[in-house]
């Protein structure tokens, strides 16, 4: 694995079994992500985007193939070690934000650091810094229900960055947002990518989102191809 490679998938396949029916969700996907990349994977609904991100982020295990995050093949890792990968090496951003309700924005951002056993004082200052960077300094004590959809997604991005992960995996990050909020979120991602060299890999069904990315791929029926 090259020095600046953050993530690579080699011949990654995933088959789901529903009774006697087998569904091939991903077919021998190969992908390399380097430090500072901003990669978009576009594809229609049901193309396997979520499955691919689940595998790359250690939320699911592949049927075959390898997934290297930095120097570790997570395809064959135990659940305990995968938790560590999810905690420290990968940041997730979901379409529906998945913030913990009734917890403030600050508490939500602090959560991954609790699991990484970061001391309380440092947790708080890091969470405040990340929320400031996301333009939410005036909303840190608000609960998700008191935030707009765009603000919730910014909190989710701040949370994903909490433990300084090697890569941010964003699954349809703008899928639930209006045009203005979509633009704000993507500008924030670009700003983090260019300003702090944060590595992004996002999936979207929206072709217009790919314009923010350095590289774009197209996923159809579980097969990954360069976007034309």
Partner 1 sequence: MFQMLSLAVRNIRRRALRNSLTVIGLAIFVLIFILISSFTLSVQSALSDSLSDLGGEITIWSQGAPLPFFGEIPENYTNQINQIPYVKNVSPQVARVSTVDSKEFRIVFGINPSDIPVFHTYTMVEGIMISSNDSKSVMGYLFADYIKKYVGDNITIDGHEVPVVGVFRTDTWMDNVVIIPISVAQEIFSLSERASIIMVTVTDPAKIDFVVSEIREDLSNVSVSKSQEATSRIAPLMSSVSLVSYAFSTIAGVACFFGVSNVMLAGTIERSREIGILKAIGAKGADVTKMIMYESAILGGLGGILGCSISMMLLIEGLLIPITSASALRVLIIPEIFVYGLILSVTISIVATLYPIWRAVRVRPNEVLKFG
Contact set with partner 1 (CB under 8 A): 49-50, 53-54, 57, 59-60, 79-80, 83-84, 86-88, 92, 94-96, 98-103, 107, 111-112, 114-117, 120, 159-160, 163, 171-172, 175-176
Provide, rounded to whole angstroms, the least separation between the CB of residue 173 and partner 1: 10
In angstroms, rounded to a whole number, what is the distance separating the alpha carbons of residues 83 and 105?
A: 23
Kindly tell me which of 95 and 199 has the beta carbon lying closer to partner 1: 95
Kindly tell me which of 136 and 177 has the beta carbon lying closer to partner 1: 177
DSSP 24-66: EEEEEEEEEEETT-EEEEE--TTSSHHHHHHHHTTSS--SEEE
Kindly tell me which of 20 and 102 has the beta carbon lying closer to partner 1: 102
* Tally: H helices and E strands in the chain: 6, 10
Half-sphere exposure of 104 (CA within 13 A, CB side): 14
Kindly tell me which of 34 and 124 has the beta carbon lying closer to partner 1: 124
Residue 129, burial from CB neighbour count under 10 angstroms (0-12, 13-18, 19+): middle
Kindly tell me which of 4 and 122 has the beta carbon lying closer to partner 1: 122
Is the separation of the CB atoms in 195 and 34 below 8 Å? no
In angstroms, rounded to a whole number, what is the distance separating the alpha carbons of residues 67 and 86?
A: 14
Provide, rounded to whole angstroms, the least separation between the CB of residue 134 and partner 1: 16
Kindly tell me which of 37 and 172 has the beta carbon lying closer to partner 1: 172
Q: Is the dihedral of CA 228, 94, 77, 192 positive or negative?
A: positive
Provide, rounded to whole angstroms, the least separation between the CB of residue 160 and partner 1: 8
Provide, rounded to whole angstroms, the least separation between the CB of residue 164 and partner 1: 12
């Amino acid at each position: 694995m090259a020095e600046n490679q953050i993530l690579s998938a080699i011949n990654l396949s995933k088959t789901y079994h529903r009774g006697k029916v087998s569904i091939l969700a991903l077919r021998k996907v190969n992908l390399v992500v380097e430090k500072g990349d901003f990669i978009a994977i576009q594809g229609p609904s049901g193309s396997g985007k979520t499955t691919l991100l689940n595998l790359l982020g250690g939320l699911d295990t592949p049927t075959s193939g390898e997934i290297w995050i930095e120097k570790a093949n997570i395809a064959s890792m135990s659940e305990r070690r995968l938790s560590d990968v999810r905690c420290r090496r990968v940041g997730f951003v979901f379409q529906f934000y998945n913030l913990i309700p009734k917890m403030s924005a600050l508490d939500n951002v602090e959560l991954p650091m609790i699991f990484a056993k970061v001391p309380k004082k440092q947790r708080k200052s890091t969470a405040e810094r990340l929320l400031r960077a996301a333009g939410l300094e005036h909303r840190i004590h608000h609960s998700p229900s008191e935030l707009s959809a765009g603000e919730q997604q910014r909190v989710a991005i701040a949370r994903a960055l909490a433990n300084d992960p090697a890569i941010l995996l964003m699954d349809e990050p703008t899928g639930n947002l209006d045009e203005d909020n979509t633009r704000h979120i993507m500008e924030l991602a670009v700003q983090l990518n260019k300003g702090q060299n944060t590595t992004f890999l996002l999936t979207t069904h929206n072709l217009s989102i790919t314009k923010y990315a350095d590289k774009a791929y197209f996923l159809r029926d579980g097969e990954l191809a360069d976007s034309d």
